Structure 1
Amino acid sequence: MAAPPGPPVSAGPVPAPAPVPAQRPHLTELRLSAFAGHRGAALPLGPLTVLAGRSGSGKTTALRAYEALARLAGGAALGEAFPDPDACVPERSRPDAQRRRGFRIGCTADGPEGPVRLDVAVQAEPELRVVGERLTAGGQVLLETALRDPGRRTVQAAWHTAGPTAVTRAPLPDDRLGTPLLPLRVAGRTAGQRRVLAAAEQMVVALRSVFACDPAPGLMRGTPARPGAGRLLGGCDNLAEVLWRTRAECGRRHAQFVAAVRAGCAGPVADVLAEPVAGGGVRALLDRGDGVRTGLARLGHGELRYLALALVLFTGPGVLEVDPAGEVPAALQTLTVLADGLDHGLDPAQRTELLGLAARMCERGHIRLVGAVADASWAAGAEGVTVVHLDA
């Protein structure tokens, strides 16, 4: 399953991003060693990253790989993280003597433990399973797994101990990532074991809080949102329900959101409201300030996407449909928003306003954004933006 290195992926010349507080673990690199159309790709990630490239360059694929790693870090099985594993295998990849094909991805997380690397090799054919995983920090391998017996549904794991026994060995399941399982296996009695646990926690926390967002105006214009958990879905079709909640929870943040909507929507905007409707449900409206209220169904495609993305940037893990690390205080976590088609349907003024809003929010360190666009010429050179060209 080894893949030859491909051309390097370059980042556009941009100012150095604002530093993220060291206590908040965050990803600094996504590696697509052999994944779908990517080979040997290492994508640098800043607080606000824009992936740019023509159709077919692998922007959406990169976001899916990021989301899959996040799901695995949360304890999901491989089948949940990769529902279509065959699509992840490089197209021209040839099976080995045992008719096996697969893919390889990885990432680097920075934080209190310094840079920690995670690399994973997955077999997609003839059956989906992890065949290798490596967690390293400071040039030292802290966890390594390998498939020793294809007839068993386990991998052989070895983790750093630094006690009377230098390495501890034990089997781990082959359908899940080993790194998030380490707290259940490592006692933490020696300095080496504590280092393994700290590195694993940093990686898991850096990956866990991910919100994949692609607002769907057609759904947002649909029937009134039904009351639910009050957590925004990836398509933002329940935006009205979430507005009903957030408007009451924090007046200051809502006022900032309204100001952002005013800058990106046509006509006057005095407020953004949510109100119950007859028969149940909630609908969202723009209060024009002169007695006129405009329902979402009357807004343009770009206005709806802009409004939804602005709401995402002003909220957090408690409002978005994400899977944060519950055992770690929220103040030590960073939410990462993955936005495919970040500028889709937006006019030049809207995308500039949204980029500025994203840069300001990401500078604070509690939220990061990775967005995909076809042409990033409008974002190149903007302060705090890392542009990664996938066509290079």
Structure 2
Amino acid sequence: MSVSRLRPVVTELRLSAYKTHTRAAYPLGPLTLFAGPSGSGKSTALEAYTALSRLAGGEPLDAVFPDPAACVPRRARPDSQGRRGFRIGCTVDGPVGPVQLDVAVQAEPELRVVGERMTGAGETLLETALRDPGRRAVQAAWHTGGAVPVTRAPLPDDRLATALLPLRIAGTTAGQLLALAAAEQVVIALRSVFPCDPVPDRMRVPARREEGRLRAGCDNLAAVLLRTRTECATRHTALVGAVRAGCAGPVADLTTEPLTGGAVRALLDQGELGAMPVDRLGDGELRYLALALVLMTGPEVLDVDTVKDVLPARQALTVLADGFDRCLDRRQAGELLGVAARMCARGHVRLVAAVGDTVDLGVGAGGEDVTVVDLGRA
């Protein structure tokens, strides 16, 4: 078994009925780019991936979908009881083999899970259905094997049953062990996600030096640079090289300086020109710097909720980057895509990104394999 196979990863995103997507299945590789014109559904695809990740982390439906009616396809019509909903799912590959998870959510008149199915190894390992609309529960049935092929029990209708399954299975039969392993594979893959969208204005504000885990908006960039510069000289040197390729002026180093009150700000060492605070950089340069840092660090530095009782070697971090090339020119976008390709090829990180017209999908990836989902042609 290969090392990559030991790390559960999402290899397909299914949007059976979600906003503008219907009957859609998108392949996901180590580096996947969603391309297409504005309004084609690039951001929506990443939004659905993020929603699955949050559900796998145990969040309730109303937190993940605060406006569930907006997730229903516009052409969907209510049934005789006034019900409308949406469906999303994914395939996760790993030690168990491919495992499919599909979730049906009722958005109206009440938000609830009305059906969920997890299949793998030729078996239906978990299936839920709404039997009694008057109860806030679904009837769940999971694979047991042996004398009793299926175990049935009610589960909450506002949570992902797959994420709850490890708490309900004793693991005393081969069938239970298979269902348990498949559920854990799905949860590990989905929780190892870092949605990232750097916000330049926030990055220009000094950060508290103790905030050493990078947040999704990268507003504490300075504190993270302070940490990474001292913890890993090799990666820091590689980051400086990447930033040098993406910034207009000279770049000799990335440093930090302390400020009063326990704050710290990041500096760009420009050699003979001296040090310049990074808050003077343009929006594109700041986003380039932040995304390069994300791609070159890892879960130990990023504020990502990985599974704590699973070894890091068994988890593959996936970065979700909406507007990957936002504010970047073509040269910067090409350089950053090259960084992403090298990191993804090494198995250091996986990237699923939405891109615009700035990225040349035929070049800039160092010749590495890139999965392009062109929604303009879908």
TM over 0.5: yes
1:224 pairs with 2:206: yes
Decide whether the 8 Å contact of 1:380 with 1:387 is kept in 2: no
Tell me how far 1:391 sits from its aligned partner. 1.8
Task: Kindly indicate whether structure 1 or structure 2 has the higher relative contact order, using CA contacts under 8 Å at least 6 residues apart.
Answer: 1
In 1, Cα distance between the equivalents of 2:339 and 2:219? Answer: 22
Per the alignment, residue 148 of structure 2 pairs with 165
Tell me how far 1:351 sits from its aligned partner. 1.0
1:205 pairs with 2:188: yes
In 1, Cα distance between the equivalents of 2:108 and 2:3? Answer: 40
1:42 pairs with 2:25: yes
1:237 pairs with 2:222: no
In 1, Cα distance between the equivalents of 2:48 and 2:155? Answer: 23
Question: Which of these residues, 67, 70, 77, is aligned with residue 50 of structure 2?
Answer: 67
Q: Secondary structure at the match of 1:145?
A: strand
Decide whether the 8 Å contact of 2:333 with 2:358 is kept in 1: no
Question: Which of these residues, 134, 144, 148, is aligned with residue 127 of structure 2?
Answer: 144
Per the alignment, residue 15 of structure 1 pairs with none
Residue-pair matches, total: 373
Tell me how far 1:332 sits from its aligned partner. 0.6
Tell me how far 1:109 sits from its aligned partner. 0.4
Per the alignment, residue 118 of structure 1 pairs with 101
Q: Could you give the per-residue CA deviations for residues 263-289 of structure 1, whole angstroms, max 9, x where no partner exists?
A: 111222111012111344111110112
Task: In structure 2, give the amino acid aligned to 1:354.
Answer: L
In 2, Cα distance between the equivalents of 1:210 and 1:228? Answer: 23
Tell me how far 1:376 sits from its aligned partner. 7.2
Decide whether the 8 Å contact of 1:52 with 1:376 is kept in 2: no
Question: Which of these residues, 171, 174, 177, is aligned with residue 191 of structure 1?
Answer: 174
Q: Secondary structure at the match of 1:374?
A: coil
Task: In structure 1, give the amino acid aligned to 2:280.
Answer: R
Q: Could you give the per-residue CA deviations for residues 218-252 of structure 1, whole angstroms, max 9, x where no partner exists?
A: 2112x311244421111111111111111111111
- Structure 2 residue runs without a partner (length 5+): none
Matches within 5 A, 1:334-345: 334-345=316-327
- Structure 1 residue runs without a partner (length 5+): 1-18
- Say if 1:214 and 1:89 are closer, same or farther in 2 by CA, change over 3 A: same
Tell me how far 1:136 sits from its aligned partner. 0.2
Q: Could you give the per-residue CA deviations for residues 29-77 of structure 1, whole angstroms, max 9, x where no partner exists?
A: 0000000111011111000000001111111111010000001111111
In 1, Cα distance between the equivalents of 2:223 and 2:342? Answer: 26
Task: In structure 2, give the amino acid aligned to 1:269.
Answer: V
Tell me how far 1:299 sits from its aligned partner. 0.8
In 1, Cα distance between the equivalents of 2:4 and 2:59? Answer: 28
In 1, Cα distance between the equivalents of 2:41 and 2:83? Answer: 24
Q: TM-score normalized by structure 2?
A: 0.96
In 2, Cα distance between the equivalents of 1:294 and 1:116? Answer: 50
In 1, Cα distance between the equivalents of 2:42 and 2:323? Answer: 9
RMSD over aligned Cα, in angstroms? 1.4
Q: TM-score normalized by structure 1?
A: 0.92
Question: Which of these residues, 336, 361, 366, is aligned with residue 379 of structure 1?
Answer: 361
In 1, Cα distance between the equivalents of 2:194 and 2:158? Answer: 23
Decide whether the 8 Å contact of 2:325 with 2:359 is kept in 1: no
Tell me how far 1:20 sits from its aligned partner. 7.0
